[in-house]
Chain A
Amino acid sequence: MIMTPKILVRLVAVVLLGVILQLSFFSQVELFHTSPDVLPALVASLGLLGGTMTGAVSGFSIGFLLDCLLVAPLGGGSLVLLSAGYLAGLFRERFEFRSPLLPPLLCAGMTLFAELGFGAVELMLGGSDTAVSSLVIRDMLIKSVFAFFLGWPIYLGLRRLLRPALVEEPALRRGSRPTVLGA
């Protein structure tokens, strides 16, 4: 990703808007007794579009902001989401992908990873002394399904917003052959 001040402002706006939307809207709605969590999908999409650095830094920022606004121990959310962003970025850098299903699948996978990560941090910090209900697994799986469906519009929206900074040409993305002079 080519980082310009304009793109940086857009990224910051995306991070802020994502966190505010999550706290003001998605966390307060319920479908099938589960609230969607769009932040891992957002981080995964950023990582998929911008690479490891973009994914990790945006994940850290979103996690930090989330911890601040939720008055949770700082660092837990950052650690989890930066890992999700980094892994998504790593996938983008290591593998060539053309399937349109990949972004939503990766969003769903990263959401599951992030939810497990939040659980691990919570258990690590000793915040949950009581027995863990099996409903947690159901909740995680439903969140991942939501992320699958929300991941696609999030990915498309971000790609449109950050298009000037994306390294890969859209024509190559679509699989069309570039024109070669003299051939």
Chain B
Amino acid sequence: MYRKQVRRRRAVLALLIVGSFALLTITYGQGSNGLQRGVSAIFSPVQSVASGALKPARDLVNWFDKTFDARGRNGRLQTELEQARKQAVGASAALAENAQLRKLLALDRGGAIPSGYEPVTARVISRSPTVWFADVMIDAGSNEGVRPNDPVINGDGLVGTVSSVTGGSAQVALIADGSSAVSAKVVPVGAQGVVEPEVGNPGELVLGFLDSTKHVHKGQAVVTAGWRGEGLAARFPPNIPIGEVTKASLVEQEAKQQVHIRPYADLPNVDIVQVLTGGSRE
């Protein structure tokens, strides 16, 4: 009895295996056949109903999957965003630096830097936190040939003068510093005077001691005059741009002999500068 059962079982198994191979051999490479089309036709409506009925459950499961996926993706995107932000900030800083260096180069090629001076490029490493002292520290010092009273410029124009020096750094008194005084002239008028700061307002300077017979107008450029007088700590080379006249009323010129100018250099945000070393300081 048991053997008969086993024999029958094996026969059915063999039949199923042979049937499977026969089906594979017959239907392989034929595409859909009549049997498949018939079964599909019977089951399609059932599948359609089942698919519609199960859609909410499917959506629920897929929602979980997408939520987990989104959480993982969110973490990845955050990391990528942080990296991209760092790169963007780095690129922006590099672009700004590049622009400043280009300006310096243009100033150099434009002949604004007189012969006999050796420009030393430096970066601002610290700045005075108060408005009373418009000083910055740069990362070039006596090791690079920087000496006290050397003029300091950037791509826009005059920035200040070196006030003290150590081996690897130097302190620069900006032209907005209370101690600063620069001999200057207005071009093309030729009126000469001394540029002094308005302490606390680095965006405005005063050009005083003007010759009242030569009227200065708004928009005219002010450059260094190149001479040294009493009370002027440093002698700047001539024709370095300082700023442009922003306010030049006749009353003020005649009564106070002064006009207001806006420095070309963005003094509160100065970053890369050049120290003009090697020139005459007397």
A interface residue numbers (CB < 8 A to B): 20-21, 23-25, 28-33, 52-53, 56-57, 60, 63-65, 67-69, 71, 73-76, 78-79, 82, 86, 121, 125
Contacts and interface: CB of A to CB of B under 8 A. Distances in A.
Contacts of A121: 24
Given A31-B65, A74-B23, A74-B24, A82 B35 contact: no
B21 interface: yes
| Interchain residue pairs A-B with the least CB separation, the first 7 | A75-B23, A75-B24, A68-B39, A79-B20, A24-B50, A74-B23, A29-B61
A53 B9 contact: yes
Nearest to B36: A68
Q: Tell me what chain B mostly uses at the interface: helix, strand, loop, or mixed.
A: helix
A116 B226 CA distance: 90
B39 A65 contact: yes
Contacts of A67: 36
Contact of B17 (A28, A52, A74, A82): A82
Nearest to A83: B17
Contact of B13 (A25, A52, A63, A71): A52
Contacts of A71: 31-32, 36, 40
A26 B65 CA distance: 13
A76 B16 contact: no
Contact of B43 (A28, A29, A64, A69): A69
Interface of B: 9, 12-13, 16-17, 19-29, 31-33, 35-36, 39-40, 43, 46-47, 50-51, 54, 57-58, 61-62, 64-65, 68-69
A76 B54 CA distance: 28
Given A24-B51, A68-B39, A75 B62 contact: no
Contacts of A68: 35-36, 39-40
A68 B54 CA distance: 22
9 contacts: A29-B58, A53-B12, A73-B24, A74-B36, A75-B20, A75-B23, A78-B19, A78-B23, A82-B13
Given A21-B50, A29-B61, A29-B65, A74 B27 contact: yes
B62 A73 contact: no
Given A60-B20, A73-B28, 5 more contacts: A20-B46, A24-B54, A31-B64, A71-B31, A73-B29
Contacts of B62: 29-30
Name the residue in B9, B26, B57 with the highest tally of chain A Cβ atoms < 10 Å from its Cβ. Answer: B9
Contacts of A29: 58, 61-62, 65
B16 A57 contact: yes
A75 B21 CA distance: 6
